[in-house]
C-alpha cells in the first residue's frame, strides 16, 4: 500500500505544479511553502513542470532525471565550521588515547587544549593530518558506528540543537518536490563520502548510494575472526570539489545532471557542467545574506570571503552572465529551519 500512497502524493503534487507555477503562498497544494514567491521559486517550479509534463516539448524521460545538491552551505549550515571537521576534532581525544605519543605532537596538542580560537587558526595541512588520523585506519563498519553515535548526540553551539536539525527547510521541500516528480536526488559534496552517508537517508531521504563525496580508498582484507572487512586507508581516490565534482558525477552516475544546487566556488564546475547540457537545465546558487536568521558572508554584503563557503564576486558575476539563479536566503526563504515557529 505504501507505493499507492506515494504515487497518489506524486500525482497531487504534479497537478499542483501544473496549475500554479508561482502558487499563492500558503496554499495547500504549494510544493514549496517555505519559499516566498519570486524569481527563484518560479524558476524551480517552471523547470520541474516543463521537464516532467509528458506534453511538454522539453520532457525528460524519468531515467534521465538527475538532480545534484552540494551539502555544506546548500542543504545545511556550514558556519562557523564544517560539521565533519567538528567530528574529527571531537575524535582527537580517542585517537590520542590509543596513541599517547600524539598528545605532545602538533596539531593534536592544540586540539587537546579545547581553545576554539586557536583551533580555528589551524592550517589546511594541520586539518589534513587530523582528518587522516581520525577518519582512517578502522574498518568501515566501526567507522559507521562511531560516526552515527556522534551525529546522534552532538549539538551546534549557536542553536543548541543536533546538527541534523540545521538543514534548510526550503531545500528539504525542493528535495521532496523533485523526488515526487520522478527526479533522482544526489548529494555531491566536498565532505567525506563515508561520513555523509551515515545520516543522508535520515536527514535528506537520500540513500547511501546517492551520496558522492570526497572519498578515500579502502582495502579488502580479513579481520581477527577471519571475516572479510574493508579498512579505510589514508589514500585519496576522489577530491570531490571544483572540477572533481563533475568528474565524480561521471564516475558515480555517468549522466550530466539536469539541475544542480550549490553555494560556493567548489560548486562552480558542477553548475557549469549542468547548465552546459542541452534542453532546459537549472543551476542555482544559495547566497548567505541573512545574518539574523543564519549567517551572512560573500560578496553581496561586501564582506570578505571566508574560509568556508567562498561565494566570490567572480562566481556571482558568472551566475548572472550564465542565467544561473541566485537564491537569497533573506528574501527568497520564508523560514530557514523546520524548528522555527
Residues engaged in binding its own copies (CB under 8 A): 3-4, 7, 63, 140, 184, 193-194, 197, 201, 207-209, 211, 215, 217-220, 227-230, 237-238, 243, 246-247, 250-255, 269, 272-273, 276
Structural contact between residues 232 and 215, judged by C-beta atoms closer than 8 angstroms: no
The minimum distance between CB 280 and its own copies, in angstroms, equals: 16
C-beta closer to its own copies: residue 23 or 213: 213
C-beta closer to its own copies: residue 107 or 244: 244
The dihedral sign for the CA sequence 70, 76, 80, 82: negative
Residue ranges in 53-113 assigned as alpha helix (H): 83-98, 108-113
Closest of 86, 183, 158, 102 to residue 339, by C-alpha:
158
The minimum distance between CB 263 and its own copies, in angstroms, equals: 19
C-beta closer to its own copies: residue 41 or 65: 65
The minimum distance between CB 129 and its own copies, in angstroms, equals: 24
C-beta closer to its own copies: residue 272 or 290: 272
C-beta closer to its own copies: residue 267 or 294: 267
The minimum distance between CB 6 and its own copies, in angstroms, equals: 9
Phi, psi (deg, nearest 5) at residue 76: -150, 175
The minimum distance between CB 4 and its own copies, in angstroms, equals: 8
Contacts of 125-130 spanning 24+ positions with Cβ under 8 A: 127/85, 127/88, 130/88, 130/89, 130/92
What's the rounded Cα separation, in Å, for the pair 228 and 220?
7
Bridge partners for 216 per DSSP: 236
Amino acid at each position: 500500500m505504501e507505493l499507492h500512497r506515494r504515487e497518489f502524493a506524486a500525482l497531487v503534487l504534479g497537478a499542483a505544479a501544473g496549475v500554479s507555477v508561482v502558487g499563492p503562498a500558503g496554499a495547500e497544494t504549494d510544493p514549496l511553502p517555505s519559499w516566498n514567491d519570486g524569481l527563484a521559486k518560479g524558476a524551480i517550479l517552471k523547470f520541474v513542470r516543463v521537464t516532467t509534463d509528458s506534453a511538454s516539448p522539453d520532457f525528460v524521460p524519468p531515467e534521465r532525471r538527475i538532480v545534484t545538491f552540494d551539502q555544506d552551505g546548500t542543504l545545511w549550515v556550514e558556519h562557523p565550521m564544517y560539521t565533519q571537521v567538528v567530528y574529527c576534532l571531537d575524535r582527537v581525544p580517542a585517537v590520542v588515547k590509543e596513541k599517547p605519543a600524539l598528545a605532545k605532537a602538533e596539531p593534536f596538542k592544540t586540539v587537546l587544549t579545547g581553545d576554539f580560537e586557536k583551533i580555528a587558526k589551524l592550517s589546511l595541512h594541520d586539518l589534513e593530518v587530523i582528518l587522516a588520523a581520525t577518519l582512517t585506519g578502522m574498518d568501515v563498519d566501526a567507522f559507521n558506528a562511531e560516526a552515527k553515535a556522534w551525529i546522534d548526540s552532538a549539538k551546534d553551539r549557536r542553536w543548541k540543537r543536533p546538527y541534523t536539525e540545521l538543514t534548510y527547510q526550503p531545500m528539504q521541500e525542493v528535495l521532496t518536490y523533485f523526488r515526487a516528480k520522478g527526479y533522482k536526488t544526489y548529494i555531491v559534496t566536498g565532505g567525506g563520502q563515508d561520513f555523509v552517508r551515515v545520516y543522508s537517508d535520515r536527514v535528506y531521504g537520500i540513500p547511501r548510494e546517492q551520496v558522492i563525496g570526497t572519498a578515500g580508498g579502502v582495502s579488502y582484507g580479513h579481520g581477527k575472526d577471519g571475516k572479510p572487512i574493508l579498512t579505510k586507508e589514508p589514500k585519496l581516490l576522489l577530491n570531490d570539489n571544483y572540477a572533481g565534482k563533475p568528474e565524480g558525477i561521471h564516475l558515480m552516475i555517468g549522466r550530466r545532471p539536469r539541475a544542480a544546487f550549490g553555494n560556493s566556488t567548489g560548486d562552480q564546475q558542477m553548475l557549469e557542467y549542468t547548465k552546459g547540457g542541452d534542453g532546459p537545465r537549472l543551476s542555482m546558487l544559495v547566497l548567505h545574506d541573512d545574518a539574523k536568521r543564519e549567517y551572512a558572508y560573500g560578496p553581496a554584503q561586501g564582506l570578505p570571503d571566508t574560509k568556508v563557503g567562498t561565494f566570490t564576486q567572480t562566481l556571482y558575476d558568472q551566475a548572472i552572465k550564465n542565467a544561473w539563479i541566485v537564491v537569497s536566503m533573506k528574501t527568497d526563504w520564508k523560514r530557514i529551519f523546520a524548528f522555527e515557529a
